[in-house]
Amino acid sequence: MTLAMTPVEESQLFDFLKECSEKVEDMLESLLPQPDDELEESRLFEAMRYSVFAGGKRLRPFLILSTNQLLGGEQTPAIEERAVRVAAAIEMLHTFSLIHDDLPCMDNDNLRRGKPTCHVQFDEFTAVLAGDALLSSCFEVLADFQTHPDASIRAELVRIAAASTGPLGMMGGQMIDMLAEQREEGERVVEQGELARLQRKKTGALFQACCECAALLNHADKMVQLHLQSYARNVGLAFQMIDDVLDVTGTKEQLGKTPGKDAIANKATFATLLGVDGARRQAEALCEQAQEQLAHFGPEAQPLRLLARYIVNRSY
């Protein structure tokens, strides 16, 4: 199974990504509070919007909308609108995680998506509040009647997002990561299995949540859900492996953030455990497995197939 992409396939994927971004950014524009000079809290609104609209590939919204398309939801305007609202909510949640990850008490980074991080552009307390506000706004959108008329579906959307973010998801992964950094020099040996578990929580859980949300909106059967969950787990872990590789091989201009920080912090990464080539090979194997989970789907799964291949070929 080839993972290389032809120029035509790259163009096709970027068209998919662009279309997805436009839909989600239009929705975010309507959902986020507008700055108002007469309101003291307007600085918070500015910080939220600064971080949300700072750029980015919008891969998580892409996962939601591409899965929705795969399951036929795109053909029903009401379901498509719901999927776009969910995608916007998840992007708020993702942006919250980036703002907090960059804080001085976490990864202490000054650059994100080629721009000053939120706490640098504003200040630390504004960044903390902006992240908190985006997290809260995510759940507000998911719980809104406009997202789905069925309260049980809305409750399940909230549960999926909360589970991917909470102590058994992203927060738990971040805790493991931070504790690993604080180990004494001779104690910092992290096994591959431990690192995979960390990253499945920190990165992969939200990838999986995206596919789960789209499956829920389309009432997908259990077997379809399992295929999509497996796909998302594999591409999520592969994405992190390539991130680790790019931290070693990429430039600030390519990445839009500071490279080499993992080595400076003496972090255990897939690139340090497996080597750059080994991590890349492992990511390729995971993306091959991800594509296999789409084998029984038709041409509507093409965006998801291309995403898996893009992840291992990306340079930023």
For the chain, the structural domain boundaries read 7-182+190-313
Q: Which residues pair with 115 in a beta bridge?
A: 112
Q: What is the mean pLDDT of residues 235-256?
A: 83
- As a residue count, the chain comes to 316
The mean per-residue pLDDT over the stretch 109-129 comes to 93
Could you report the per-residue pLDDT of 124-138, keeping only the tens digit for each?
A: 999 999 999 999 999
Tell me if residue 2 falls in helix, strand or coil: coil
Q: How far is it, in rounded angstroms, from Cα 20 to Cα 60?
A: 10
- Domain 7-182+190-313 is of which CATH architecture? Orthogonal Bundle (1.10)
- Please give the pLDDT value at position 62: 96
- pTM confidence score: 0.92
pLDDT single digits (tens) 191-230: 777 777 877 888 889 999 999 999 999 999 999 999 999 9
Q: What is the pLDDT of residue 92?
A: 97
| pLDDT at position 70 over 80 | yes
Weakest mean pLDDT among 18-22, 56-60, 115-119, 266-270 = 266-270
Which residues, at least 6 apart from 20, have a Cβ–Cβ distance to it below 8 Å? 58, 61, 62, 65, 66, 87
Please report which confidence band the pLDDT of residue 294 belongs to, taking 50, 70 and 90 as the band edges.
Answer: very high
Sign of CA dihedral 147, 152, 153, 155: positive
Is residue 185 scored above 60 in pLDDT? no
State how far the alpha carbon of 32 is from the alpha carbons of 45, 51, 85, 142, 164, in Å. 8, 12, 12, 14, 22
